[in-house]
Amino acid sequence: MVSTNTLCKKLLNVKSAVIKGANFYTDEDGVKHIRIHARPNVWHEDDCPFCHKRCRRYDKKNPHPRIWRGADWGSTLVEISYDTHRIECPEHGVLVADVPWAYPGSGFTKDFDLTVGWLATYLPRSTVSEYMRIDWETVGRCVHRTMNDIEPEISRRLDGFVNIGIDATSYKKGHKYITIVVNHDTNTVVWAAQGHGKSVLTQFYRQLTPEQLSSIKVVTGDGAKWITECVNAFAPGCERCVDPFHVVEWAMEALDEVRREVWREAYDEALQLAKEHHGKKGRPSADDVEAARVKAARDKANEIKNSAYALGKAPEHLTEHQQAKVEMIAKNNNRLYRAYCMKEMLRLLLKMKDINEAEVELKQWLWRASHSRIDAFKKLYQKVKRHKEHILNAIRLGMSNARIEAINNKIKLIIRKAYGFRNIQNMLDMVYLVCSDLRLTIPNRKSKVT
């Protein structure tokens, strides 16, 4: 027969504790509780909760016992009661003495915090809050303690990476961003912080040791000036790559600007024809030529307006209807079609494997863009020319920010699942739990090998 002391210790998953007794009671809401009266082992009653060294007592035991919530036993709510006292640590100062069943400063057992952390990575926070019978904000604090447990030294994740990607993603309306650094070799987030820009990225580089800085060989990102400045300042020996995805995105923005200009011109022309036509006296006949011209002008404007998706897709992926739209543009609007061809030329050269051939093609594209007589592509010419070396580095090394864009989608899913975050630290903790190489398992479960 198992004793009460052994049974409670096994169920609470603690070893260096003594169970003094337990009692059941029902609260005013009809919820059943079991309150376990426990204390640490006599050899660990005065341990510091951080360095775990035995220290001098600062005061006597508290006459009012402190209560910790434990993971429920079935439908019964579990509590641990203990008369706490304070100790004086030479390193950490005056603190409440350590207890073996809880993290420092926590009102819950370790198993409870770990369970909440695991649930929060898969379920909305409101669901976790209701199931675990805790407050919404308490979920975030449990996740933070879980993070500190499974990764007490954050600096270790910064060791040994060679190829990294840097990007900023929005997490809230009003230009609220976080900056993330991803290890390309492991496809994991190694660092994240609130904000974006040179000052934020500088914080990342200043955390690195000389050995960690020297191990970085490739840095990918968009064409942001602040990324290039930080790379040149802290890791001048590594190669800077501009992500081909963002280069194509620049071309798409230039093409869309041209499309809007052409649409406005076609719309104004149709509007002017309609005014002239309606200004004529008499009822128009069915075969009125002017009415046909007005209708044709409106149809042309509408075709241009609705061609954004067709112009953005690769030719090999166009449907018959989209192909017809592109052919109509090629026939009726030379400027927009030339812009479309330059976008395609840039997209295709970024897929090349031969760096010498790609360099020749990029030189030809730059000449065409600079002589295109299209303002949007002249601006794009200046931008591509400024990042020419970094674009060629990305082609030569075959590097891109595709993995970072996938992680950005995960981050947005985390935010949607939580219905937003009021505490930025809670969001960063969730990003690390979901998007890094940390592995969190439910207590007393065998971890799955991934």
Q: Are 172 and 223 contained in the same domain?
A: yes
Predicted confidence (pLDDT) per residue in 284-312, tens digit: 554 466 677 777 777 777 888 888 888 88
DSSP run (H or E) holding 240: strand 239-242
Q: With 0.75 as the threshold, say if the pTM is over it.
A: yes
The answer to the question of residue 117 being in a domain is: no
Tens digits of pLDDT across the chain (450 residues): 778 788 888 888 888 888 888 889 998 889 999 999 998 988 888 999 988 899 999 887 777 889 999 999 888 999 999 998 999 999 999 999 999 999 998 999 999 999 999 998 888 888 899 999 998 889 888 988 888 888 766 777 788 888 999 998 888 877 788 999 999 888 888 899 998 889 999 999 998 888 888 889 999 988 889 999 999 999 888 899 998 888 999 999 999 999 998 888 888 878 887 777 665 555 555 446 667 777 777 777 788 888 888 888 888 888 888 888 888 888 888 889 999 999 999 999 998 889 999 999 999 999 999 998 999 999 999 999 999 999 999 999 888 888 888 888 888 888 888 777 778 888 888 888 888 877 777 887 776 654
Q: Could you tell me if 311 and 379 lie in one domain?
A: yes
Flag whether 309 is in a domain.
yes
- Does a structural domain hold residue 107? no
Measured between its terminal Cα atoms, the distance across the chain in Å is 40
Shared-domain flag, residues 98 and 64: yes
**Is 194 inside a domain boundary?**
yes
In the prediction, which pLDDT does 357 show?
Answer: 92
Question: Can you give the CATH number for the domain in which 204 is found?
Answer: 3.30.420.10
| Crossing angle of the two packed helices 136-150 and 125-132, in degrees rounded to 10 | 90
Q: What is the number of domains present in the chain? A: 3
197 and 296 both lie in a single domain: no
**Does one domain contain both 391 and 296?**
yes
- For residues 368 and 251, state if they share a domain: yes
| 84 and 197 both lie in a single domain | no
Domain that holds residue 389: 244-397
